[in-house]
Every structure is written in structure tokens, then in C-alpha cells.
Amino acid sequence: MQVLDGKALAQTIKEELKVKVDAIRQAGGKIPHLAAVLVGENPASQVYVRNKVRSCEAVGFRSTLLRRPQDITQSELLQIVTELNADPDIDGYIVQLPLPAHIDEDAINLAIDPRKDVDGFTPVNIGRMTLGLDAYLPATPNGIMVMLDRYGIETSGKEVVVLGRSNIVGTPMTVLLSRKSNPGNATVTLCHSRTKDLKAHTLHADIIVAAIGIPEMVTADMVKEGAVVIDVGINRVDDASRSKGYRLAGDVDYAGLKDKVSAMTPVPGGVGPMTVVSLLMNTLKASQKR
């Protein structure tokens, strides 16, 4: 089995980005500047944002972290978004999700300037992506597409099953894999919680993208010999044998599948690092456009 090592690939791409940023600096150009808004004390969100800030530093980007308390009002957060939209020095920014329950995530998303939407979540960028126009692609799906390309995974004419229909991963993944491009040109089936006989679909798939949020749900009896598995899930599973009391697991049973599939992403160290590096790629693109 080929391990699709996202951590190693992300490091390679970061080194490539650093070369580009160094060239910009030597030419006296503007250094890309990414801002992140972090609301509350969600542990996972803090880790994600910290990784993004560190990655910016590694490639030579400028970064700004705006931390706000859990009880920030929606109007206060919208004011921050308005200020970031207007700041000429900020090339792109993200509002880390999830937000507190009293804040309407859609309202925040709709307020983000699409030209600075390096997460690729605004309707303008999603719409442009759907039409095959130039856009900032959602970070996780784009990271997966880059991984498929760099590892030479053939998608043209393949049967792909995507598990999960979120607007952040599952739905855009089906668009990217089915459109006329490379990677792409696949026949894609989107499965979700209401899909009947899920196993019948997954057994037919040459490639499975699991983004359903259920620990180790995809087992060996659901996957055909030689399939490629992209595991987007990252779940905490109680494990008394670990010092922290838990372990991280994906949406697929890695141990049960590793002797059956032809290629698979690990968890952690697979899709996660590619999501971060995709954000950096979008930020550089935004900076060059501005």
C-alpha cells in the first residue's frame, strides 16, 4: 500500500512557497499577509489556527491573529469582518469555524469579501468553482486535489464515492472530481446519512473520500481490493491506554484496510496538513491578484 503522506507533501509545497516569497521580497514586492479570527476557546480550533500561523511563518508570510471571547456579539464580529475587508494590507483572512451558537455563520460568511475569501467558502467562490471559473477553492477539497495530482492518482473515468455532503468538504469535492480537468473527469456518487445500502456504493468505488465524521465507520468489508482511500475525518476516540486518554482516528479503519487498498491517507498526517497548505496557496494567489 502507498501511504499518501500529506505531512511530507505539505512540507515540500511549503518549501516551494518559501522560494516564491523570497523572490517577492528580493524584488521589493508585497509579502502575502493572512489574518485569522478565532472566537472562543474551542481546543480544536485553537490547534488549527496555531498550525496556520506557524505555517505562515515557515514560508515567510505575514500573519495576524485576532482572538475574541466566546460572548462576542454578532454585530461586533461583523464589524471585524468589515474592517478586514477594507484593510489594504490584508490579502486574505479566515473566520475559524465553528462559531458560538448565538452567531449566524451564514451571516458572517456572506459578509466576507470574496476577493479575500482564502477559505473558499463564500457563495461567489463556490459559484465560480461550480462553473469552472477561476476561484479560491475550499481549502480541504483543494488540498485533496493537489494530493491526488502530486501522487499521480488517476481519477479520469474512475468511480468515486464521497461520504458526506457538507458545504466545506463533501459537496465541493464532488464538483472538483467530476469537472473536466486533471485530476477530475471522474464519475462521482455522493453518499450521506440517508443513503440506502451504503456498502453497495462503496464496494463499487475505485476511490473513496470519507468525510462523514464517524470514527472508523468504513471497514474492510465495504471497500474493494486495490481501491484508493482519502480519509478526511479526524475524531477523538476514548483510549485508556494512551496518556491523554484518547487517540485520534479517521473515518476509516486504517488497520483493517491497509493490506487491502492500493493507497490511503493516514490520520493524522494525511489530509489535515494539505488543508493548511492549500490555505497558503490561496493567500499567495490573493496577494498576487491584489
Q: Residue 168: which CATH number?
A: 3.40.50.720
Count of C-beta atoms within a 10 Å radius of residue 33: 21
Whether residue 129 lies inside any domain: the answer is no
Q: Convert the pLDDT of each residue in 151-174 to its tens digit.
A: 999 999 999 999 999 999 999 999
Question: Cα(170)–Cα(192) distance, rounded to whole angstroms?
Answer: 9
The domain that contains 76 carries what CATH number? 3.40.50.10860
Same domain flag for 91 and 146: no
User: Of 67, 99, 114, which residue is a domain's last?
Assistant: 114
Whether residue 13 lies inside any domain: the answer is no
Whether residue 119 lies inside any domain: the answer is no
How far is residue 105 from each of residues 68, 91, 102, 164, measured CA to CA in Å? 15, 22, 9, 20
Give the residue numbers spanning the domain of 104. Answer: 28-114
Q: Convert the pLDDT of each residue in 255-288 to its tens digit.
A: 999 999 999 999 999 999 999 999 999 999 999 9
> How much is the pLDDT for 47?
84
Same domain flag for 228 and 144: yes
Residue 62 phi, psi (nearest 5): -90, 150
Place of cell 495576524: 64
Whether residue 235 lies inside any domain: the answer is yes
Whether residue 195 lies inside any domain: the answer is yes
| pTM of the full structure | 0.94
Same domain flag for 143 and 264: yes
Whether residue 222 lies inside any domain: the answer is yes
Whether residue 15 lies inside any domain: the answer is no
Same domain flag for 149 and 267: yes
**Neighbouring residues of 205: CB distance < 8 A, sequence distance ≥ 6:** 159, 160, 161, 189, 223, 224, 227
Number of domains in the chain: 2
Same domain flag for 218 and 101: no
Spatial contact of 109 and 80, defined as CB atoms under 8 Å apart: no
Report the catalytic residues. 52, 96, 119
290, pLDDT greater than 80: no
Whether residue 156 lies inside any domain: the answer is yes
Specify burial of residue 195 (Cβ count, 10 A radius: 0-12, 13-18, 19+): middle
Annotated binding site for NADP(+): 164-166, 234
